[in-house]
Structure 1
Amino acid sequence: MQESKPHVVIIGAGHAGGTVAALLRQYEFTGPITLIGEEPIPPYHRPPLSKAWLKGEANAESLALKPLEFYAENNIDLWLNARVARVDRVGKKVAFLNGNILAYDILIIATGSRAIYPPIPRADSGGIMLLRTAADAEQLKATIGPGKRLAIVGGGYIGLEVAASVRGMGAEVVILEREERILKRVANPILAKFFQSYHEARGVTFELGCHVASFGSENGQVTGVWLGDGRGLLCDAVVIGAGVHPNEDIAKEAGLECDHGILVDLEARTSDPYIFAIGDVTRRPMPIYDCLFRMESVPNALEQAKQAAAAITGRPAPAVEVPWQWSDQYDLKMQIAGYPFEADTVLVRGEPTSAKFALFHLKGDQVQAVEAINSPPEFMMGRQLIGSRKAVDRVKLADPTISMKEVVAERDA
């Protein structure tokens, strides 16, 4: 009697879920695969939503991870417009909101994260939106244009990317940030000051250290924002960019170990040996820094998809990667490698006013992270320095007349 092949069910058809499904087939997994997504379209690239999609340079077809026919050709059963309500670990089943039940042998949770929606009065008015899906991006694109004004609640990278794109569409933009500076949670003050100045020079205005008390609306449509100090700002639309939460609810309810994200190992395996988790929803080991951390990036989703696919198919585990991410704003290309955990020094290489520079975060003489603006060599060589964990010559690193190759070569000498 022929042994049946294990059925892999993937909850979440974002970048992580779509990638792990494709990798399983690439790694010659021949069992059935079911990929479940809440949206009506197949997996797609999300970073361009705040850039190319808004500017009309991309659509669902051009951003698709794989052509629609790929899934049928590779025997990947794609369930769209479907939402899982709970996971039954004992029975190895997932239950859907519509009452359907699906059995699994191996489960992969790739549910990503959801936007934090502040409890602000009249936040349900029309024209107040998030930017998490293609539908969100399409709504914003249809709302904003020349002569319109957009208010962005939150001065993080997504808010800045949206601001840059909307300015390019001819609309006015005001960014409302409750902290005393933008990028407070994720970037050094030097970098925050640079980005704010760059945006201000292109017409974006900022309200820092402000509290959004309520939204103004008329006939159910947003008309403005009321601040805690009593001031009112007119606008035609609002984008909420106040951070995200991991979508770990079904994992918690199923009894999986969670701590601000589903806890996984370097195989992306959870506390249940038959369940993996990948992408934004996970809190994972970071061997370079000897800690656990939850990352919100496409490269992390791809790395964990490789880890899970390798573990499921019995392949050797992939090498641990140095984490990285990026942000495109106007003509700026920012590339970030690593995280500044326990950094005690920030070294500036280049001149910020030139819009071509890099910030190196050091712990002693080790590079922990690099933030590079229009500086690919600093980013690429910086990743090598982070991964090597070897000491670096600070004087040479700070001197932009000395090439990064020479800096790295000196380290390896």
Structure 2
Amino acid sequence: MTRSTTTRPLVIVGASYAGLQLASSARELGFEEDILIVGDEPHPPYQRPPLSKGLLTGKATVDQLWLRAPEFYAQKRIGLCLGRRVAALDLAARRLTLDDGSVLEHGWLALTTGARARALPLPGAELDGVLPLRTLDDALRVAEAAASARSVCVIGGGFIGLEVAAALRARGAEVCVVETQPRLLARSLPERMAAFVEDAHRQRGVRVLTGRGVRGLLGANGRVAAVELADGQRIDCDLVVLGIGVWPNSELARDAGLTVDNGIVTDPLGRTSAEGVLAAGDVAAVAPSPGAPRVRHESIQAATDGARAAASLLVGQPRPNTAVPWFWSDQFDLKFQMAGVARADDEAVLRGEPASGRFSVFYLRDGAVAAAHSVNRPGEHLLSRQLIAAGARLSPQVLADPDSDLKAAMAAQSAAA
């Protein structure tokens, strides 16, 4: 017999973007049961993008980060249990145990536990002035340390590391980025776009070292004083910010018997390997279609789209997540916007002049637009998402011509079809 999942509350583990979106979407779709969000941080759900951008430059304050005002939770009957960690799940009994020993029962269970910053497994990582950046408290510590820091070493040349580098450089600090890979953003962007990002940082005074391993961190009186590279070179600094990636917080799910493989394995509706248990956000490893490789899209939009899909299941109106993945990054005066997932063997088509700081690169796969990267071209970014979703087959000549009307070309193609 299938056990009802709506006779007890929906409990959402993880006070994250995905967690709040799942709760609010469930209410919008007509879910009437009680909803409780459990979070291990003391804060209600907050915006994460400003942590590595505006909060560090002073353009954003903590009060501006909250995703919803307190009255929203009361109006929508969404409870918050903050500063509490879930210690164990009993999926068969549909209950969970908190770190204080209290027990909560649930009908549906949603895991939106996100990810945590990778630790640096090297000597000196425990020194004062060596800080990760993932949570609000992390960002506040970095901002406080940066107020008096003269020289900063950012370890990791991914998006978070580069956003931190840009923000702290804008504050006037001397900044050095160290990346072990041969180039920046090796896991995120094709070489052409990554080279543009690197040049942009160098032109604005950031020192960039690629292909350089780190041997350890050196200290004086318990505080970091330098980063020692694998070749013996020493980078003097009084603040180190770690941007070396994240780990999905999937241990709770694994220990409960859910299928885990670089995240909690789900389908496009957020269903896990256990009945009545959903997952969304950075912790979810989604197979877009049967047999397709599983991916974890670590972005706000992916969390939002995945949570909405999971919420649709709660009310018996399943709407799988088929949205085109997209992402953005603000660095200095540059807004990078990415849509779709580019591959190394895609045909890259440049539209505009990189030297102008405003251009796009479209990626064709089997003649169709599969991905696009834009710099300071928000209109083209929005259009690129439509092109990708439609599987538009525009010629490289049309895409490359900055005077061509891509919207009209897509409409003409649709009409012809």
TM range (shorter): over 0.9
- Verify: 1:153 aligned to 2:131, yes or no: no
1:99 is paired with a residue of what secondary structure?
Answer: coil
Residues 1:257 and 2:259 aligned together? yes
Counterpart Cα distance in 1 of 2:9 and 2:231: 57
The correspondence for 1:304, drawn from 296, 303, 306, is 306
Name the structure 2 match of 1:7: 9
* C-alpha distance in 2 between matches for 1:263 and 1:29: 25
What's the counterpart of residue 84 of structure 2? 82
Query: 2: CA distance between counterparts of 1:106 and 1:172?
Result: 50
Letter aligned with residue 90 of structure 2: D
Judging changes above 3 Å, is the alpha-carbon distance between structure 1 residues 248 and 15 closer, same or farther for their aligned structure 2 residues?
A: same
Tell me, yes or no, if the aligned pair for 1:32 and 1:75 is still in contact at 8 Å.
yes
In structure 2, what is the Cα distance between the partners aligned to 1:188 and 1:342?
7
Query: C-alpha distance in 1, partners of 2:218/2:254?
Result: 37
For residue 201 of structure 2, the aligned residue among 189, 193, 199 is 199
* Residue aligning to 2:359: 357
Q: CA deviation at 1:4?
A: 7.7
The residue number in structure 2 matching 1:91 is 93
Does structure 1 residue 176 correspond to structure 2 residue 178?
yes
Structure 1 residue matching 2:359: 3-state secondary structure? strand
Distance 1:288 1:144, change over 3 A: farther
Alpha-carbon distance between aligned partners in 2 of 1:163 and 1:408, rounded to the nearest angstrom: 39
User: Distance between the aligned counterparts of 2:254 and 2:118, measured in 1?
Assistant: 19
Q: Counterpart amino acid of 2:49?
A: P
Structure 1 residue 237: deviation in Å? Answer: 0.7
Structure-2 change in CA distance of 1:128 and 1:401 (3 Å): same
Match of residue 381, structure 1, among 353, 358, 383: 383
- Residues 117, 247 of structure 2: 8 Å contact kept: yes
Counterpart residue number, 1:394 = 396
Gaps of 5+ in 2: none
CA distance in 1, matches of 2:408, 2:148: 48
Q: Does 1:321 align with 2:333?
A: no
Q: 1:283 aligns with which of 282, 285, 291?
A: 285
- Scaled by the length of structure 2, the TM-score of the pair is 0.94
Residues 139-166 of structure 1, C-alpha deviations (whole Å, 9 max, x = no match): 1111114761111000011111111111
**TM-aligned CA deviation for residue 292 of structure 1:** 2.7
Work out the CA distance in 2 between the residues paired with 1:341 and 1:294.
16
Please give the per-residue CA displacement for 1:302-327, whole angstroms capped at 9, x wherever unaligned: 11111111110223516621111100
> Hey, what does 1:100 align to over in structure 2?
102
Number of the residue aligned with 2:275:
273
SS at 2:319's partner residue?
Answer: coil
Q: Say if 1:181 and 1:238 are closer, same or farther in 2 by CA, change over 3 A.
A: same
The percent of aligned pairs where both chains have the same amino acid is 39
1:16-35 superposed matches below 5 A? 16-35=18-37
Contact in 2 for aligned 1:335/1:379 (Cα 8 Å): yes
Report how far residue 288 of structure 1 moved.
12
Question: Are 2:42 and 1:45 aligned?
Answer: no
Give the C-alpha shift of residue 366 in structure 1.
1.2
What CA deviation, in whole Å up to 9, does each residue of 1:38-62 have, x standing for no partner? Answer: 1111001101111111122223321
**Does the Cα contact within 8 Å between 1:145 and 1:171 map onto a contact in 2?**
no
- 1:372 corresponds to which residue? 374
Q: Which amino acid aligns with 1:380?
A: L
* Residue number in structure 2 paired with 1:231: 233
Tell me the residue number matched to 1:166.
168
Report the AA paired with residue 271 of structure 2: R
1:52 maps to a residue whose letter is: G
Q: Which residue of 1 aligns with 2:137?
A: 135
Would the alpha carbon gap of residues 249 and 53 (structure 1) be closer, same or farther in structure 2, given more than 3 Å must change?
same
| CA deviation after TM superposition for structure 1 residue 410, in Å | 4.1
* Counterpart for residue 66 of structure 1: 68
Q: Distance in 1 between matches of 2:300 and 2:18?
A: 8
Aligned partners of 2:305 and 2:321 also within 8 Å? no
Secondary structure of 1:123's partner?
A: coil
Q: Is the 8 A contact 2:179 2:211 kept in 1?
A: yes
| Maintained 8 Å contact 1:342/1:363 | no
Q: TM-score, normalising length from structure 1?
A: 0.95
Of 270-279 and 49-58, more deviation after overlay is shown by 49-58
Structure 1: how far apart are the matches of 2:100 and 2:271? 28
> Displacement of 1:253 after TM fit?
1.0
What is the root-mean-square deviation in Å for CA atoms of aligned residues?
Answer: 1.9
Query: Against the structure 1 CA distance between its residues 269 and 197, is the aligned structure 2 distance closer, same or farther, given a 3 Å change threshold?
Result: same
User: 2:262 and 2:69 mapped to 1: Cα distance?
Assistant: 34
- Maintained 8 Å contact 1:279/1:304: yes
* CA distance in structure 1 between the aligned counterparts of 2:152 and 2:17, rounded to whole angstroms: 28
Secondary structure, counterpart of 2:55 in structure 1: coil
